[in-house]
Amino acid sequence: MTEKQYIQFFDTTLRDGEQTPGVNFNTKEKVQIALQMEKWGIDVIEAGFPISSEGDFEAVKAIAGAVKNMTVAGLARCNEKDIDAAYDALRDAVDPQIHIFIATSPIHMEFKLKMSKEEVLASVAHHIAYAKSKFEKVQFSPEDATRSDWDFLVEVINLAIEKGATVINIPDTVGYTNPTEFGNLFKYLKQNVTRFDDVIFSSHCHDDLGMATANALAAVENGALRVEGTINGIGERAGNTALEEVAVALHIRKNYYEKETGMVLKETKRTSDLVSRLSGMPIPRNKAVIGGNAYAHESGIHQDGVLKNPETYEIITPQLVGVEHNSLPLGKLSGRHAFVDRIAQMGYEISDPAEIKILFARFKELADKKKNVTEEDIHALMVGKSIED
Ligand code: KIV
Ligand code: ZN
């Protein structure tokens, strides 16, 4: 039997995630999040961008000292001062990694960097070599890779590997690509990068077109051994790949993907709740994997199925991700089976079908008027009180 490939999880909640408008973690909160990421099974944490501010430098330093079982990464532009700051901030890390980036797309090179292709290549050569003199683990990202010329990407990546990069990360910086195209890009890199198998290829996707998770999984199917993202998908604009979605997809569809991860899935909800609370960003109820409705079934047909066998409508057990149990909220679409089940759970023993028929009719009448029927409503209904009381 062939061994399954291990997919590393790289969490950038504290760097790209903190680029969410309105989100600002203090150092204590960042350390708390980093320690929870360690429990969640994250392999690499991007603790921040040390040159960007004194606060970020201090936070990266504090995380580097606190974390023992994850690689700790710091971001740097192609700039010696950035690399020096990352080196100083990561001195105490058990396993430090630098993450260097420069844009390679025509629009970024012309308007943002005002650099030619040759100048970008020269900068990559110099700064990767400089970083390599200080770090064993060097990650390189050609920013806006998905809007870059593929042959130029190959040239830049070959050079970065030659100068010592150990990880090549492919960012879909503006969430522009789609799964077929991103998968093909990884295939192309695999065929054309000279030492593809000597380094780790990684995906870094944004969700502008709602495809960040699908794109990350397409990368995994085509040679990526690392997935970058954030918990709850927080990040610039529409956010980053939601790591909980990728982790659970690889688990639930393990026979399809045939990959292994170190993710401790039962820590998912705790990690998500912590970041939601500290970032002040509520999780949409319909969010995959961790939303409040992800394990709630409201329609009568679904409730009846779930009561007979949860697998009829649940592909993920709530307990897998640390959610206590599913729920069958009662509303106007709910069926008799769920209603009877709920009143039994509330302690009412009613077996007479005629009585159940009357109670269920009264419940339906109420549900037509109310969005959610609460347990208080049902108690009132059971003792024959008026609904309007
Ligand atoms: O989205 C992006 O391109 C980034 C890079 C810094 C990797 O976040
Ligand atoms: Zn990004």
| pLDDT tens per residue across all 389 residues of the chain | 678 999 999 999 999 999 999 999 999 999 999 999 999 999 999 999 999 999 999 999 999 999 999 999 999 999 999 999 999 999 999 999 999 999 999 999 999 999 999 999 999 999 999 999 999 999 999 999 999 999 999 999 999 999 999 999 999 999 999 999 999 999 999 999 999 999 999 999 999 999 999 999 999 999 999 999 999 999 999 999 999 999 999 999 999 999 999 999 999 999 999 999 999 999 999 999 999 999 999 999 999 999 999 999 999 999 999 999 999 999 999 999 999 999 999 999 899 999 999 999 999 999 999 888 999 999 999 887 544 44
Give yes or no for residue 236 CB within 6 A of ligand 1.
no
Cα–Cα distance for residue pair 365/332, rounded to 1 Å: 8
Residue nearest to atom 3 of ligand 1 (CA): 173
The first and second tokens of residue 197, run together, are 């198998």
Residue 204 is labelled as binding a ligand: yes
CB 56 within 8 A of CB 49: yes
In SS3 terms, the chain reads as CCCCEECEEEECCCCCHHHCCCCCCCHHHHHHHHHHHHHHCCCEEEEECHHHCHHHHHHHHHHHHHCCCCEEEEEEECCHHHHHHHHHHCCCCCCEEEEEEEECCHHHHHHHHCCCHHHHHHHHHHHHHHHHCCCCCEEEEEECHHHCCHHHHHHHHHHHHHCCCCEEEEEECCCCCCHHHHHHHHHHHHHHCCCHHHCEEEEEEECCCCCHHHHHHHHHHCCCCEEEEEHHHCCCCCCECEHHHHHHHHHHCHHHHCEECCCCHHHHHHHHHHHHHHHCCCCCCCCCCCCCCCCECCCHHHHHHHHHCHHHCCCCCHHHHCCCCCECCECCCCCHHHHHHHHHHCCCCCCCHHHHHHHHHHHHHHHHHCCCECHHHHHHHHCCCCCCC
Residue nearest to atom 2 of ligand 1 (CA): 173
Residue 127 is labelled as binding a ligand: no
pLDDT score at 371: 83
Among 157, 204, 237, residue to substitute to test ligand 1 (most atoms within 8 Å of Cβ):
204
Residue nearest to atom 6 of ligand 1 (CA): 101
Cα–Cα distance for residue pair 10/40, rounded to 1 Å: 12
Residue 352 is labelled as binding a ligand: no
Cβ neighbours of 53 (radius 10 Å): 11
Among 141, 156, 202, residue to substitute to test ligand 1 (most atoms within 8 Å of Cβ):
141
pLDDT score at 49: 98
pLDDT score at 272: 98
Length of the chain: 389
The first and second tokens of residue 140, run together, are 């390189």
Positive or negative, the CA dihedral 215, 220, 222, 224 is: positive
Give yes or no for residue 16 CB within 6 A of ligand 1.
yes
Q: Residue 29 burial by CB count (10 A; 0-12/13-18/19+): exposed, middle or buried?
A: middle
Give distance in angstroms: CA of 329 to centre of ligand 1.
Answer: 41
The first and second tokens of residue 250, run together, are 């690889």
Give distance in angstroms: CA of 143 to centre of ligand 1.
Answer: 6
Give distance in angstroms: CA of 230 to centre of ligand 2.
Answer: 10
Residue nearest to atom 8 of ligand 1 (CA): 16
Give distance in angstroms: CA of 171 to centre of ligand 2.
Answer: 7
Distances (CA, A) of 141 to 1, 149, 317, 373: 34, 15, 36, 51
Atom of ligand 1 at shortest distance to CA of 141?
7
Give distance in angstroms: CA of 173 to centre of ligand 1.
Answer: 6
Give distance in angstroms: CA of 348 to centre of ligand 2.
Answer: 54
CB 361 within 8 A of CB 355: no
Cα–Cα distance for residue pair 331/104, rounded to 1 Å: 53
Give distance in angstroms: CA of 206 to centre of ligand 2.
Answer: 6
pLDDT score at 389: 41
Give distance in angstroms: CA of 143 to centre of ligand 2.
Answer: 8
Atom of ligand 1 at shortest distance to CA of 236?
1
pLDDT score at 2: 72
For residue 229, give the ligand nearest its CA. 2
CB 228 within 8 A of CB 261: no
Give yes or no for residue 143 CB within 6 A of ligand 1.
yes
Q: Which residues on neighbouring strands pair with residue 200, listed in sequence order?
A: 167
Give yes or no for residue 101 CB within 6 A of ligand 1.
yes
Residue 16 is labelled as binding a ligand: yes
Give yes or no for residue 235 CB within 6 A of ligand 1.
no
Between helices 179-192 and 150-162, what is the axis angle to 10°?
A: 50
Largest CA distance in the chain: 84
Give yes or no for residue 230 CB within 6 A of ligand 1.
no
Residue nearest to atom 5 of ligand 1 (CA): 143
Atom of ligand 1 at shortest distance to CA of 171?
3
Backbone φ and ψ of 376, nearest 5°:
-60, -40
Give distance in angstroms: CA of 208 to centre of ligand 1.
Answer: 14
